[in-house]
Amino acid sequence: MTKKKKVAVVMPAYFAEQTLEKTYRDIPKKYVDDIILVDDASKDNTVKIAKKLGLTVVVHEKNKGYGANQKTCYKTALKRGADIIVLLHPDYQYDPKKIPEMIKPLQEGKADAVYGSRMLAKGGAAKGGMPAYKRIGNFFLTTFMNVTLGTKFTDAATGYIAYSRKVLEKIAIEKLSDGFTFDEEAIIQCAANKFRIKEIPIPTRYEVESSSISFSRSIEYGWNIFKEIIKSKLHK
């Protein structure tokens, strides 16, 4: 009999007091064994709310950045015995109800990592309110990544990802960025290690409370990813 795989949801949090509880309420609990929140030195009530909800909470005393937050998330989940780790932002931008679909290919051994694609959803990302400059930037970033790395992504900038344990143990997450390019650097490592990657359609939700980086930060973010992709090819 096949052993049931332990599923952990990890939430990298920063000023998430307005959206954390409704994100948590929408998580289908029967599919999840562990919910972990790592707070990156928020000055609001994020930690208080997380503890009230009964989550496993880890707090950074100083702000370390989005990538550093994820590193703590994954190390904590692995230490607690997770076999499948789902990255879910607590800002309600990604639908927690999609977790069963995100983890199914991993549970069935058909993928090593699953990415939620906003571009595959009916109506695309525009329907959910993604700004035009983000859609255009996402298209060029994804196309460049696919051509350069030989991948077949439709949404390389998604923040809704499910990893198998072996992926996180293999890709040396400590060497990845502490900033916003962490996810894309992880994609580069997944491609380099020939991991099986699958995408599933997810809805886009850009709400008032949802976190998002500015236009200028988006340009910086795209440029940094471009450099990382080129670097990965040069060191191949």
What's the CATH code of the domain at 224? 3.90.550.10
1 occurs within a structural domain: no
The Cα 89–Cα 87 span in angstroms is 7
Residue 2 lies in a domain: no
Residue 134: pLDDT band (50, 70, 90) is confident
Coil, helix or strand for 78?
Answer: helix
For the chain, what is the domain count?
1
Is residue 203, in this structure, part of any structural domain at all? yes
Provide Rg for the chain, Cα atoms.
17
Res 69: pLDDT: 99
129 pLDDT tier (thresholds 50, 70, 90) = confident
Contacts of residue 140, defined as CB under 8 A and 6 or more positions apart, other chains included, come to 222
Q: Are strands 56-59 and 7-13 parallel, antiparallel or unpaired?
A: unpaired
Which residue segment(s) compose the domain that 168 sits in? 7-234
- Model's pTM, two decimal places? 0.89
Decide: 159 and 93 in contact? Cβ < 8 Å.
yes
pLDDT tens, position by position, 135-164: 888 899 899 999 998 999 999 999 999 999
Residue 93 lies in a domain: yes
Distance CA 40, CA 90 (A): 12
Name beta bridge partners: 113: 163, 197
pLDDT of residue 46: 99
* pLDDT of 16 over the 60 cut: yes
